[in-house]
Amino acid sequence: MPRTDYVIDEMISAKSIAARIEALAKDIEAAFSGTEKLVVVGLLRGSFVFIADLVRELDLNVEVDFLEASSYGDGMESSREVRILKDLRGEIAGRDVLVVEDIVDTGFTLSHVVRFLESRDPARLRTIALLDKPSRREVDIKADWTGFEIPDEFVVGYGIDYAQRNRNLPFIGKVRFVE
Ligand code: IMP
Q: Would you kindly state where each structural domain of the chain is located, as residue ranges?
A: 14-151
Using a 6 Å cutoff on CB, does residue 78 contact ligand 1? yes
Select from 50, 103, 112, 130 the residue to mutate for testing ligand 1; criterion: most ligand atoms less than 8 Å from CB.
103
Locate the DSSP E strands across the chain.
6-12, 38-44, 62-71, 82-86, 96-104, 124-132, 145-149, 155-156, 172-177
Q: In what order do the strands lie in the sheet with 124-132?
A: 82-86, 62-71, 38-44, 96-104, 124-132, 145-149
pLDDT at 1: 77
Class of CATH domain 14-151:
alpha beta
Query: Atom 15 (ligand 1): residue with closest C-alpha?
Result: 105
Q: Cα of 169 to ligand 1 centre, how many Å?
A: 17
| Nearest-atom index, ligand 1, CA of 107 | 4
Q: Cα of 37 to ligand 1 centre, how many Å?
A: 29
Burial class (CB in 10 A: 0-12, 13-18, 19+), 110: buried
Residue pLDDT tens, the chain, 179 long: 788 899 999 999 999 999 999 999 999 999 999 999 999 999 999 999 999 999 999 999 999 999 999 865 556 776 678 999 999 999 999 999 999 999 999 999 999 999 999 999 999 999 999 999 999 999 999 999 999 999 999 999 999 999 999 999 999 999 999 97
Q: Cα of 118 to ligand 1 centre, how many Å?
A: 22
Nearest to 18 by CA among 147, 108, 129: 147
pLDDT at 99: 98
Using a 6 Å cutoff on CB, does residue 127 contact ligand 1? no
Nearest to 161 by CA among 48, 22, 20, 21: 48
The residue type found at 76 is M
Contact 69, 112 (CB under 8 A): yes
Within the chain, where are the H helices?
A: 14-31, 48-57, 108-118
Length of the chain (residues): 179
